[in-house]
Amino acid sequence: MPSDLALFLGQLIRRPHQVVALAPSSADLARAMAAGLGPDTGRVAEFGAGTGRLTRAILDRGVAPADLTLFEMNRDFCDRLRDSFPGVRVLNDPAQRVADRCPPGLGAVVSGLPLLSMPDAVQAEILGGAFAVLRPGGVFVQFTYGPRPPLAEAVRRDLALTAERGEKVWGNLPPARVWRYRRAAV
Protein backbone atom coordinates (compact mmCIF):
# COMPACT_ATOMS: atom_id res chain seq x y z
CA MET A 1 0.00 0.00 0.00
CA PRO A 2 1.46 3.44 -0.90
CA SER A 3 2.24 5.86 1.95
CA ASP A 4 -0.18 8.77 2.49
CA LEU A 5 2.35 11.09 0.82
CA ALA A 6 2.75 8.84 -2.23
CA LEU A 7 -1.03 8.50 -2.52
CA PHE A 8 -1.45 12.29 -2.26
CA LEU A 9 1.22 13.04 -4.89
CA GLY A 10 -0.19 10.37 -7.23
CA GLN A 11 -3.66 11.93 -7.03
CA LEU A 12 -2.18 15.42 -7.43
CA ILE A 13 -0.67 14.32 -10.75
CA ARG A 14 -3.93 12.67 -11.89
CA ARG A 15 -6.35 15.33 -10.64
CA PRO A 16 -4.43 18.62 -10.18
CA HIS A 17 -7.59 20.77 -10.39
CA GLN A 18 -9.24 18.84 -7.56
CA VAL A 19 -6.29 18.43 -5.18
CA VAL A 20 -4.69 21.89 -5.71
CA ALA A 21 -1.89 21.61 -3.11
CA LEU A 22 1.79 20.75 -3.34
CA ALA A 23 1.66 18.45 -0.33
CA PRO A 24 -0.67 17.40 2.49
CA SER A 25 -1.03 19.96 5.30
CA SER A 26 1.74 19.87 7.91
CA ALA A 27 1.07 18.75 11.47
CA ASP A 28 1.50 22.40 12.56
CA LEU A 29 -1.17 23.62 10.16
CA ALA A 30 -3.47 20.75 11.13
CA ARG A 31 -3.11 21.68 14.82
CA ALA A 32 -3.85 25.33 14.07
CA MET A 33 -6.95 24.39 12.06
CA ALA A 34 -8.29 22.21 14.88
CA ALA A 35 -7.47 24.64 17.71
CA GLY A 36 -10.56 25.49 19.71
CA LEU A 37 -12.36 22.23 18.91
CA GLY A 38 -13.00 19.68 21.64
CA PRO A 39 -15.43 17.11 22.99
CA ASP A 40 -17.98 19.89 23.62
CA THR A 41 -18.00 21.02 19.98
CA GLY A 42 -20.45 18.25 19.18
CA ARG A 43 -20.80 17.14 15.58
CA VAL A 44 -18.12 18.31 13.14
CA ALA A 45 -17.86 18.07 9.34
CA GLU A 46 -14.58 18.15 7.46
CA PHE A 47 -14.51 19.16 3.77
CA GLY A 48 -11.80 17.87 1.40
CA ALA A 49 -10.19 15.51 3.90
CA GLY A 50 -7.54 14.21 1.48
CA THR A 51 -5.32 11.69 3.28
CA GLY A 52 -6.54 12.85 6.70
CA ARG A 53 -3.98 15.30 8.08
CA LEU A 54 -6.68 17.61 9.46
CA THR A 55 -8.84 14.63 10.45
CA ARG A 56 -6.11 13.35 12.79
CA ALA A 57 -5.78 16.76 14.46
CA ILE A 58 -9.56 17.07 14.90
CA LEU A 59 -9.70 13.68 16.64
CA ASP A 60 -6.62 14.57 18.73
CA ARG A 61 -8.61 17.52 20.12
CA GLY A 62 -11.11 15.05 21.60
CA VAL A 63 -13.87 15.16 18.98
CA ALA A 64 -15.41 11.66 19.06
CA PRO A 65 -15.03 9.64 15.83
CA ALA A 66 -18.81 9.14 15.77
CA ASP A 67 -19.25 12.93 15.77
CA LEU A 68 -17.08 13.46 12.69
CA THR A 69 -18.26 13.33 9.04
CA LEU A 70 -15.78 13.66 6.18
CA PHE A 71 -16.69 14.87 2.67
CA GLU A 72 -14.12 13.86 0.08
CA MET A 73 -14.70 13.71 -3.68
CA ASN A 74 -11.75 11.44 -4.43
CA ARG A 75 -12.60 7.74 -4.10
CA ASP A 76 -9.00 6.63 -3.45
CA PHE A 77 -8.67 9.14 -0.62
CA CYS A 78 -11.99 7.88 0.82
CA ASP A 79 -10.68 4.30 0.87
CA ARG A 80 -7.59 5.49 2.76
CA LEU A 81 -9.67 7.56 5.20
CA ARG A 82 -11.92 4.57 6.01
CA ASP A 83 -8.83 2.43 6.74
CA SER A 84 -7.14 5.10 8.85
CA PHE A 85 -10.11 6.36 10.87
CA PRO A 86 -12.46 3.59 11.97
CA GLY A 87 -15.71 4.94 13.39
CA VAL A 88 -15.54 8.16 11.38
CA ARG A 89 -18.27 8.65 8.73
CA VAL A 90 -16.55 9.00 5.34
CA LEU A 91 -18.71 10.25 2.46
CA ASN A 92 -17.53 10.12 -1.14
CA ASP A 93 -19.64 13.21 -1.78
CA PRO A 94 -18.84 16.82 -2.64
CA ALA A 95 -18.97 19.31 0.19
CA GLN A 96 -21.85 20.97 -1.69
CA ARG A 97 -24.07 18.15 -0.33
CA VAL A 98 -23.50 18.87 3.35
CA ALA A 99 -27.03 20.11 4.04
CA ASP A 100 -28.50 16.89 2.52
CA ARG A 101 -26.18 14.61 4.44
CA CYS A 102 -25.86 16.22 7.90
CA PRO A 103 -28.76 17.21 10.14
CA PRO A 104 -28.68 20.76 11.53
CA GLY A 105 -26.70 21.42 14.70
CA LEU A 106 -23.06 21.05 13.62
CA GLY A 107 -20.62 22.78 15.95
CA ALA A 108 -17.90 23.31 13.34
CA VAL A 109 -16.88 22.75 9.75
CA VAL A 110 -13.16 22.36 9.03
CA SER A 111 -12.28 22.83 5.37
CA GLY A 112 -9.19 21.88 3.41
CA LEU A 113 -10.93 22.72 0.12
CA PRO A 114 -9.17 24.82 -2.52
CA LEU A 115 -11.98 27.39 -2.18
CA LEU A 116 -10.29 30.27 -4.01
CA SER A 117 -9.82 28.12 -7.10
CA MET A 118 -13.61 27.67 -7.26
CA PRO A 119 -16.08 30.09 -8.89
CA ASP A 120 -18.00 32.36 -6.52
CA ALA A 121 -21.22 30.41 -7.19
CA VAL A 122 -19.59 27.19 -5.98
CA GLN A 123 -18.10 28.93 -2.93
CA ALA A 124 -21.59 30.28 -2.15
CA GLU A 125 -23.12 26.81 -2.50
CA ILE A 126 -20.55 25.27 -0.16
CA LEU A 127 -20.62 28.00 2.50
CA GLY A 128 -24.40 28.38 2.21
CA GLY A 129 -24.84 24.65 2.78
CA ALA A 130 -22.44 24.67 5.72
CA PHE A 131 -24.17 27.59 7.45
CA ALA A 132 -27.57 25.98 6.85
CA VAL A 133 -26.54 23.16 9.20
CA LEU A 134 -24.10 24.92 11.56
CA ARG A 135 -25.73 25.81 14.86
CA PRO A 136 -25.79 29.49 15.96
CA GLY A 137 -22.21 30.42 16.87
CA GLY A 138 -20.85 27.51 14.84
CA VAL A 139 -17.57 28.13 13.05
CA PHE A 140 -16.28 27.43 9.52
CA VAL A 141 -12.48 27.08 9.55
CA GLN A 142 -10.47 27.40 6.32
CA PHE A 143 -6.80 27.84 5.45
CA THR A 144 -5.27 29.62 2.51
CA TYR A 145 -1.73 30.03 1.18
CA GLY A 146 -2.04 33.57 -0.17
CA PRO A 147 -2.40 37.00 1.47
CA ARG A 148 -6.11 37.30 0.60
CA PRO A 149 -8.95 35.80 2.67
CA PRO A 150 -9.93 32.33 1.42
CA LEU A 151 -13.51 33.31 0.56
CA ALA A 152 -14.65 35.82 -2.10
CA GLU A 153 -15.72 39.05 -0.42
CA ALA A 154 -19.07 39.07 -2.28
CA VAL A 155 -19.87 35.58 -0.96
CA ARG A 156 -18.92 36.55 2.60
CA ARG A 157 -21.15 39.64 2.40
CA ASP A 158 -24.13 37.86 0.80
CA LEU A 159 -24.09 35.21 3.53
CA ALA A 160 -23.62 37.83 6.28
CA LEU A 161 -20.47 36.17 7.63
CA THR A 162 -17.78 37.68 9.82
CA ALA A 163 -14.16 36.80 8.99
CA GLU A 164 -11.50 36.38 11.67
CA ARG A 165 -7.85 36.26 10.57
CA GLY A 166 -6.15 33.49 12.52
CA GLU A 167 -2.70 32.05 12.94
CA LYS A 168 -0.03 32.15 10.23
CA VAL A 169 1.69 28.76 10.06
CA TRP A 170 5.22 29.11 8.70
CA GLY A 171 5.95 25.40 9.13
CA ASN A 172 3.80 24.41 6.16
CA LEU A 173 4.66 24.02 2.48
CA PRO A 174 3.80 26.70 1.48
CA PRO A 175 3.16 28.77 4.64
CA ALA A 176 -0.58 29.10 5.27
CA ARG A 177 -2.98 31.22 7.28
CA VAL A 178 -6.06 30.01 9.17
CA TRP A 179 -9.32 31.96 8.84
CA ARG A 180 -12.55 31.49 10.83
CA TYR A 181 -16.00 32.47 9.53
CA ARG A 182 -19.13 32.86 11.63
CA ARG A 183 -22.64 34.08 10.89
CA ALA A 184 -22.87 37.71 11.97
CA ALA A 185 -25.29 38.24 14.87
CA VAL A 186 -28.54 39.97 13.74
Between residues 174 and 184, which has the closer beta carbon with respect to ligand SAM?
A: 174
Based on the shown chain and the rule CB under 6 A, indicate whether residue 150 belongs to the binding site for ligand SAM: no
Question: Nearest-CA neighbor of 134 among 161, 164, 104?
Answer: 104
Question: Nearest-CA neighbor of 143 among 72, 54, 62?
Answer: 54
> What's the DSSP call for residue 61?
T
Question: Nearest-CA neighbor of 32 among 142, 149, 174?
Answer: 142
Write out the binding residues for ligand SAM, residues 46-85 only, by CB under 6 A: 47-50, 53-54, 71-74, 77
Write out the binding residues for ligand SAM, residues 97-136 only, by CB under 6 A: 112-114
Q: In this chain, which of 9, 61, 64, 94 binds ligand SAM, going by CB under 6 A?
A: 94
Query: What values do phi and psi take at 115, rounded to 5?
Result: -60, -45
Q: Do 170 and 139 meet the contact criterion of CB atoms below 8 Å apart?
A: no
**Candidate ranges 20-28, 131-139, 157-165, 174-182; the one touching ligand SAM (CB under 6 A):** 20-28
3-class DSSP state of 83: helix
Q: In this chain, which of 32, 44, 68, 95 binds ligand SAM, going by CB under 6 A?
A: 95
The size of the interface with ligand SAM (CB under 6 A), counted in residues, is 23
Q: Which residues bind ligand SAM (CB under 6 A)?
A: 18-21, 24-25, 47-50, 53-54, 71-74, 77, 94-96, 112-114
